[in-house]
Amino acid sequence: MKTETEKDDQVSCQSTINPSEWKGRTIEIDDAGTGDLVGDAFIGLRDASTGKTIFRSIPVGLYNEENKDDDQPKKRILKVIIDGLKTLNHRKGDRILLCRGNCFDLVREYFEENEIYYEPAIVEGKLQEAVEGRFIQHLRKLGVRSPNLTTDSGIQRYFILFNWVCQDFPNRERYVKTGFPAWKKKWRRFAMDRFYNSKRGKAQKRDLIKRRANEIYQNLLEETTLKAKISSD
């Protein structure tokens, strides 16, 4: 995943498309979905010499308000990267090219504490395409059907996902990373208003009122029947 700072930071941050020479093996690490409104996030690790790529998912539930405040997403990311490096048989002579996203803050701390060599990188090319592709596959499985949904992250993808949530807010909010401050402060209210002002929302609201009225009626009927039975006894 690229960040705004990465795009302008070419001095301290190299691209994985044309990295500097390295005698040993290089492992690339990137993320997808960590900054997107909807769905799980994904971490990809790629052995540049063999092309072997593995993925690990970070459940959307870790991005709710309670877990996000406790850095649960970053803790899980650290855990899956440690596991992924073991799967790739990481050795001391390997170089790790690590995306500079904030989601990897704990990973950088861990690498430095354990003297694991890494370099900050703008992850582009095969790994970026692969991990973003895995995220898009996940969104399609959730039901996001927009033909404009692509592997390019950013404002367009944000509003594609936001509009998808608005279309069926009561059933789709569970797929939202609700721990994002902007969701609670602004976008949740917008999503609710758009849904309940839509034809579908109004129809669901009428159905809910009817169901509630029927429940009340049934409760009253049962209560009346019970009282009548007690009186007759």
Per-residue pLDDT of the chain (233 residues; tens, 9 = 90+): 444 334 344 446 888 888 888 889 999 999 999 999 999 999 999 999 999 999 999 999 999 988 877 899 999 999 999 999 999 999 999 999 999 999 999 999 999 999 999 999 999 999 999 999 999 999 999 999 999 999 998 999 999 999 999 999 999 999 999 999 999 999 999 999 999 897 664 555 545 544 565 565 466 656 666 565 666 65
Q: Is 53 left (phi over 0), alpha (psi -120 to 50) or beta?
A: beta
Three-state DSSP class for residue 139: helix
What class does CATH assign to 4-135?
A: alpha beta
C-alpha 120/C-alpha 58 separation (Å) is: 22
Domain ranges in the chain?
4-135
pTM of this prediction? 0.80
Cβ contact 37:177 at 8 Å: yes
Q: Of 176, 159, 204, which is closest to residue 60 (Cα–Cα)?
A: 176
C-alpha 176/C-alpha 193 separation (Å) is: 16
